[in-house]
Amino acid sequence: MSSLKFDTSTKNSNRSPGRGPDLLTLKVDTPVQFVRGVGPKLGERLKDKGVWTVQDLLEWYPRAYEDRRAARSIDSLQPGELVSLRAEVIGVTSFAMGKSRRKIWDIVVRDGTGKIHCKYFRVPYKGYFERFQPNQKVRVIGRVLNYRGRIEFHHPDLQDDTPETYADDDVIVPIYPETEGVTNRQLRKMIQEALTGLVAERDQLELLPAWMRTRYELPPRYEALLQAHRPHKDSGPELAEFKTPAHRRLIFEEFFWLELWLASRKQEVAREAGIKMRRDLSLVDALVRNLAFELTGAQKRAFQEIVADLCDRDPARPMHRLVQGDVGSGKTMVALMAALVAVASGYQATLMVPTEILAEQHDQTARRLLEPLGLKVGLLTGSLKARERAQALALLERGEIHLLIGTHALIEDAVHFKNLGLVIIDEQHRFGVEQRARLKSKGQSPHFLIMTATPIPRTLAMTVYGDLDVSVIDELPKGRSPIQTRVGFESHRGKMLEFVRAQITKGRQAYFVYPLVAESEKIDLKNAVTAFEDLQKQFPEYQLGLLHGRMKPDEKDQVMRRFRAGEFQILVSTTVIEVGVDVPNANIMVIEHAERFGLSQLHQLRGRVGRGEHKSYCLLMLGYAVSEEARDRVKIMEESTDGFVIAERDLEIRGPGEFLGARQSGLPGFKLANLVRDARILQMAREAAFEVFERDPSLRLKEHASLRRELLRAHGPTSLAGIG
């Protein structure tokens, strides 16, 4: 059925005089091409940007606001200010970044008081710079930076300043993210048309129950959208900071839908009947007595939280707990202790990891620690020979393997446990929801323990892991010396190579990590394949290995085995070594183009060294013409080795989407909400979402019908599995 309504009468018409028959009413799911001023051609262009419906268009929120009543002059600018000014273009130039083929673009503008440079370290879209010619009038909106002693803009918004825009000089103008083929002026017009067309349907936009809007003082959704896209000219400074009541409503809503889904998942777990294990810690006590080191307080605390989940809940419910811990904090030991609690109660445990070499490392550790206690440890990977595999599967099905360690091979149909009670997943973001579900199905509501070495700030953990209980291991074992980290530039390359050579001469090994596998015409960065050839010439007396994601799994495992065995002195790699490589003799990590990595990823890579008795070093090499902001960001790595501190800074700088990587987390791409800026609103949205289920566990009340429909629309029937 069409979502368009036409009316030829003039009663209550919102048509402009003289326009003829017009579209009077839109709905949120109306295709965007039917908004006045869009049409099929522009509609297709918008679809390429993910804008399919009227709702998508209205959720293309402004990223800033230009107050045209307070246009500034160039001589009045101060570093740190977000400003708007009118100027004319002097010229557009570009120049190469050092020896690199990459370009910096520089648009110089002036007004009656001076001139200023607008620098671009990347091209917003093809043809962007060709738009600007000498003497062209422009509006510049951006944040003033102090770059090497001179004020300038980096990546400001530049827009034509034509006579037709002068009428806007007494208003606050929303500034939208720039996109090829769609100007800000066009966007403003389209969004205003959409808002006008939705007037008759504005009550249908409201999905939040009245009690929630009253408690949290949230304006109606239509009013919030109207104010966000058409701010009143008397709006105060809270507009620029996204702190108006309208923004608070829209941000709350983005958080709320995620938290409601997480609450529904937690509701599902709460309805499951779980396994109640005996509080028998005899095997754990025996293990701890045999250790050559003392557990940290954080390890003991995390283990006690796990024991409470396994043994003390009444009624019994499956544990769903995340253990966060920095690189080397001892998460694996806590996991083995949890496995011993399960075994002492007559159950089997399994540990799933993302790579074969990591599975082998865990297998060696578990055999060394658990076999003296009389336990059988099994290993299951894709490269096992048929005879070994058949033997392991038979022992597992008879219950003679107490702990099975493996890769994705664990979820295959042929794998049968006699009595699976505990599932442990290492680096869970490497596995999909379906894979975890298949592993869970191999037992009767087994307990789940998830581990990650990527420290996640509390605000982000509430969103990504909101359906899990969280334990944090925030201490490192005694005796671990911090890794010395230094930032270097191209001018330091000779000294860096000399230092690496000196360490290898002492018998150590080194990693060289690159952002790309091979040379790219589009991105001029050092790459692993070319660097491998160059480093072979620099270090002809040593053996080098090459590792990257395009290699087959068995090839990658073979390279890592040889590096771990000491056959290679240098490993040239991409970020595939980020997780799960333990080579105690490797004490040097060189990361090329460190400015291209997130701080948390740099910290993860750095954690590959410092795992043995030798003093370790991480050298962060920067490319040519790196911005001051990028330099300051990378230097945070010199200042701290605390993964949680670094994660907080990384989240502030990059936002949640990039922080976690390409959609692996299941985190939605927030369009307006900011987890750092809006942490208080997130807490309110979480509180509201969980209260919904306290009030109405099945979402059957009339006031919650829209919530039930939205859950079903966004996540499908499985989202209602726990609520009936």
Interior CA angle at 63 toward 62 and 64, to 5°?
90
Taking the C-alpha atoms of residue 425 and residue 465, their distance in angstroms, rounded to an integer, is 14
Average pLDDT in the 561-587 region? 86
Taking the C-alpha atoms of residue 182 and residue 159, their distance in angstroms, rounded to an integer, is 12
Mean of the per-residue pLDDT values of the chain:
84
pLDDT given for residue 522 in this prediction: 44
Residue 406 bridge partners (DSSP): 352, 380
pLDDT given for residue 660 in this prediction: 52
Interior CA angle at 463 toward 605 and 334, to 5°?
55
pLDDT tens digits for 66-87?
A: 777 667 889 999 888 878 888 9
pLDDT given for residue 22 in this prediction: 47
The letter for the amino acid at 76 is S
Please say if the pLDDT value at position 367 is more than 90. yes
Helices 297-307 and 331-344 pack at an angle, to 10 degrees, of: 30
Q: Which residue has the tokens 């209602």?
A: 720
Percent of the chain at pLDDT above 70? 87
| Residue 574, token pair as written in the block | 């991409």
pLDDT tens digits for 640-655?
A: 888 888 888 877 776 6
Taking the C-alpha atoms of residue 378 and residue 701, their distance in angstroms, rounded to an integer, is 51
Q: Are 401 and 376 in contact (CB under 8 A)?
A: yes
* H/E segment holding residue 105: strand 103-111
Interior CA angle at 165 toward 160 and 171, to 5°?
120
Counting Cα atoms < 13 Å in the Cβ hemisphere of 141 gives 20
Strands in 605-668 per DSSP E: 617-621
The three-state DSSP-derived secondary structure of 571-615 is EEECHHHCCCCCCCCEEEEEEECHHHCCHHHHHHHHCCCCCCCCC
Please report which confidence band the pLDDT of residue 695 belongs to, taking 50, 70 and 90 as the band edges: very high
> Which one, of 305, 358, 294, 298, lies nearest residue 642 by Cα?
298
Helices 245-271 and 679-695 pack at an angle, to 10 degrees, of: 50
Taking the C-alpha atoms of residue 678 and residue 655, their distance in angstroms, rounded to an integer, is 12
Taking the C-alpha atoms of residue 162 and residue 164, their distance in angstroms, rounded to an integer, is 5
Determine the longest span between alpha carbons in the chain, in angstroms: 90
pLDDT given for residue 57 in this prediction: 93
In Å, how far from its chain's centre is CA 149? Answer: 34
CB contact set of 281 (below 8 Å; sequence gap of 6+): 307, 341, 344
Neighbours of 414 (CB within 10 A): 10
> Which one, of 634, 608, 632, lies nearest residue 621 by Cα?
634
80: left (phi over 0), alpha (psi -120 to 50) or beta: left
What Å distances lie between residue 680 and 255, 462, 685, CA to CA?
11, 12, 9
CB contact set of 323 (below 8 Å; sequence gap of 6+): 302, 306, 331, 334, 335, 449, 450, 451, 452, 471, 472, 473
| Residue 397, token pair as written in the block | 């099905």
Burial class (CB in 10 A: 0-12, 13-18, 19+), 311: middle
- Considering only residues 614 and 669, tell me which one the structure prediction assigns the higher pLDDT: 614
pLDDT given for residue 721 in this prediction: 64
**Termini Cα distance of the chain:** 29
- Domains of the chain in sequence order: 1-61+182-202 (1.10.150), 65-175 (2.40.50.140), 206-271+685-724 (no CATH), 282-473 (3.40.50.300), 484-640 (3.40.50.300)
Q: Are 321 and 305 in contact (CB under 8 A)?
A: yes
Taking the C-alpha atoms of residue 1 and residue 612, their distance in angstroms, rounded to an integer, is 67
In Å, how far from its chain's centre is CA 501? Answer: 36
Please say if the pLDDT value at position 24 is more than 80. no
| Residue 153, token pair as written in the block | 């803009």
Q: Are 592 and 619 in contact (CB under 8 A)?
A: no
pLDDT given for residue 661 in this prediction: 47
Please report which confidence band the pLDDT of residue 342 belongs to, taking 50, 70 and 90 as the band edges: very high
Respond yes or no on whether the N-terminal peptide bond of residue 79 is cis (omega within 30° of 0).
Answer: no
Percent of the chain at pLDDT above 90? 44
Q: Are 558 and 551 in contact (CB under 8 A)?
A: no
Q: Which residue has the tokens 């293990």?
A: 287
Helices 599-606 and 628-639 pack at an angle, to 10 degrees, of: 40
Burial class (CB in 10 A: 0-12, 13-18, 19+), 95: exposed
Average pLDDT in the 416-432 region? 82
| Residue 571, token pair as written in the block | 């490993």
Please say if the pLDDT value at position 4 is more than 50. no
Q: Are 585 and 614 in contact (CB under 8 A)?
A: yes
Task: Compute the Cα dihedral for 352, 356, 358, 359 and give only its sign.
Answer: positive
Please say if the pLDDT value at position 1 is more than 50. no
pLDDT given for residue 580 in this prediction: 55
Neighbours of 483 (CB within 10 A): 22
pLDDT tens digits for 531-547?
A: 899 999 999 999 999 98
| Residue 425, token pair as written in the block | 């997943």
The letter for the amino acid at 527 is N
Please say if the pLDDT value at position 103 is more than 60. yes
pLDDT given for residue 163 in this prediction: 65
pTM score above 0.85: no
Please say if the pLDDT value at position 409 is more than 50. yes
Taking the C-alpha atoms of residue 118 and residue 154, their distance in angstroms, rounded to an integer, is 6
The letter for the amino acid at 32 is V
Interior CA angle at 182 toward 177 and 187, to 5°?
70
| Residue 167, token pair as written in the block | 């009428």
Average pLDDT in the 412-437 region? 81
Taking the C-alpha atoms of residue 63 and residue 672, their distance in angstroms, rounded to an integer, is 8
pLDDT given for residue 191 in this prediction: 94
Taking the C-alpha atoms of residue 6 and residue 120, their distance in angstroms, rounded to an integer, is 47
**DSSP 8-state symbol, 516:** B
Taking the C-alpha atoms of residue 606 and residue 609, their distance in angstroms, rounded to an integer, is 6
